[in-house]
């Protein structure tokens, strides 16, 4: 579950008069089940939780601590050294983890409404949480981190100003800053990257589901209205039916976009690929055999498309996991998207051979 969902759920609960607690992992050392930036919402008795901070006994302890504070605005810090006792089943990781627990009443509703809006519209910015145990939660949303200067905008120290700019520039999941007058936790606010599925056949059906489950936004585009529709892709963020000739005039592409070309035929693949390589997309992948890929790239070079643009293409698409069924092939493709997102990679022919084609279901 991404932060947008958590912020929206928090706002929804507060609108109904239900207090909430937000638990955030703000620092770790060594190996830990929860990573910096992990978040969890805790609701009232019997209403459950949303999100996770790593699971296990430590998470259960955080749920109990958060539930005890519900109803009264407050901020608390907890630090655990995993493996401190033999019976600690989480201790096998051997690291340490620090949590921030913040409890909110109706006074927190404007904050979560604002965070839901800015994250949902991909407006970016940085969220600074002041670590002031015992007091009410204090969070500052900054729309233009590059304009931060030392000693202004709330009196940020030099260390905090540097962390704010770093979080905005690098997408670091979170930075805990202890120096200065007030320790803080700094984290970027941004919408998840977008997967644009060019084609709405059987592979896209499964890719959309897997991609959404690992926190990509999903846009589905196809010429066929009987395939590109809400009934077929209920969980997609956007579904568009239209000619492939003008696809990227209707779909916004930026450096956080991942284009997956899985249309119903080679001609459509060519139409989309010729446009896709001229965008700023972070990833461009196209399904097809090695032979088909080489022939299509040669054709585009002959049409004058620069080789440096075509060299960006991942094809054959997907990680080599021995995939055979449509579900497995879709999984291999989403695995590649995650790998590129988290680790980076170099495109080129030879990632994986898939000889199948999109078609009717």
* 287's tokens: 């399904």
Q: What is the rounded (10 degree) CA torsion for 278, 283, 287, 290?
A: 80
Distance CA 288, CA 290 (A): 7
Residue 64 backbone zone (phi > 0: left; psi -120 to 50: alpha; other: beta): alpha
pTM of full prediction above 0.75: no
Mean pLDDT score of the chain: 86
| Segment 108-140, tens digit of pLDDT | 999 999 988 876 565 678 899 999 888 889 998
DSSP conformation class of 318:
S
- Determine the pLDDT at residue 328: 97
| Residue 161 in this model has a pLDDT that exceeds 60 | yes
For residue range 329-343, list pLDDT tens digits in order. 999 999 999 999 988
Confidence at residue 95, expressed as pLDDT on a 0 to 100 scale: 84
Query: Bigger pLDDT: 215 or 255?
Result: 255
pLDDT band at 259 (very low <50, low <70, confident <90, very high): very high
Report DSSP letters for 201-246, one per residue.
Answer: SHHHHHHHHHHHHTT-EEEEEES-TTTSSTTT-TT-SEEEE--GGG
Cα separations (Å) of 103 from 41, 177, 328? 10, 22, 42
Give 61-95 as a DSSP string: HHHHHHHHHTTS-EEEEEEEETTSSTT-GGGGGB-
Confidence at residue 358, expressed as pLDDT on a 0 to 100 scale: 39
Q: Which domains does the chain have, with CATH numbers?
A: 3-188 (no CATH), 194-343 (3.40.50.720)
Q: Where are the alpha helices (DSSP H) in 223-350?
A: 247-250, 266-276, 290-302, 307-310, 326-343
Which tens digits make up the pLDDT trace of 213-222? 888 889 999 9
pLDDT in tens, 33-82: 888 999 999 998 778 899 999 888 899 999 999 999 998 999 999 998 88
143, 114 Cβ separation under 8 angstroms: no
Q: How long is the chain? A: 361
Alpha helix positions (H), 16-157: 56-69, 109-120
In this prediction, residues 266-283 reach a mean pLDDT of 96
pLDDT over 70, % of the chain? 87
pLDDT (0 to 100) of residue 351: 42
Question: What does the pLDDT read at residue 82?
Answer: 82
């Amino acid at each position: 579950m991404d932060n947008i969902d958590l912020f929206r759920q928090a706002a929804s609960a507060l609108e109904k008069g239900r207090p909430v607690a937000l638990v955030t992992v703000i620092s770790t050392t060594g190996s830990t089940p929860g990573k910096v930036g992990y978040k969890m919402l805790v609701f009232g008795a019997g209403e459950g939780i949303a999100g996770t901070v790593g699971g296990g006994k430590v998470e259960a302890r955080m749920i109990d601590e958060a539930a005890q504070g519900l109803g009264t605005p407050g901020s608390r810090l907890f630090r655990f050294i995993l493996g401190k006792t033999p019976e600690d089943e989480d201790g096998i990781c051997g690291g340490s983890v620090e949590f921030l627990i913040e409890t909110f009443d109706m006074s927190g509703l404007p904050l979560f409404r604002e965070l839901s809006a800015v994250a949902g519209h991909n407006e970016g910015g940085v969220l600074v949480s002041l670590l002031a145990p015992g007091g009410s939660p204090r969070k500052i949303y900054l729309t233009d981190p590059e304009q931060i200067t030392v000693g202004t905008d709330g009196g940020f120290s030099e260390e905090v100003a540097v962390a704010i700019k770093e979080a905005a520039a690098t997408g670091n999941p979170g930075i805990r800053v202890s120096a200065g007058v007030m320790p803080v936790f700094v984290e970027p606010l941004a919408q998840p990257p977008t997967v644009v599925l060019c084609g709405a056949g059987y592979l896209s059906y499964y890719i959309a589901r897997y991609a959404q489950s690992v926190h990509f936004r999903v846009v589905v585009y196809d010429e066929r209205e009987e395939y590109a529709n809400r009934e077929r892709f209920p969980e997609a963020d956007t579904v568009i039916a239209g000619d492939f000739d003008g696809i990227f005039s209707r779909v916004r592409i930026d450096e956080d976009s991942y284009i997956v070309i899985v249309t119903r035929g080679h001609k459509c693949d060519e139409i989309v690929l010729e446009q896709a390589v001229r965008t700023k997309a972070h990833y461009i992948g196209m399904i097809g055999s090695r032979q088909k890929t080489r022939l299509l790239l040669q054709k585009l070079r002959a049409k004058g498309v620069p080789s440096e643009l075509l060299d960006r293409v991942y094809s054959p698409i997907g990680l080599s996991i021995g995939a055979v069924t449509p579900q497995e092939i879709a999984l291999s493709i989403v695995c590649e998207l995650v790998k590129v997102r988290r680790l980076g990679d170099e495109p080129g022919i030879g990632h994986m051979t898939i000889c199948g084609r999109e078609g009717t279901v």
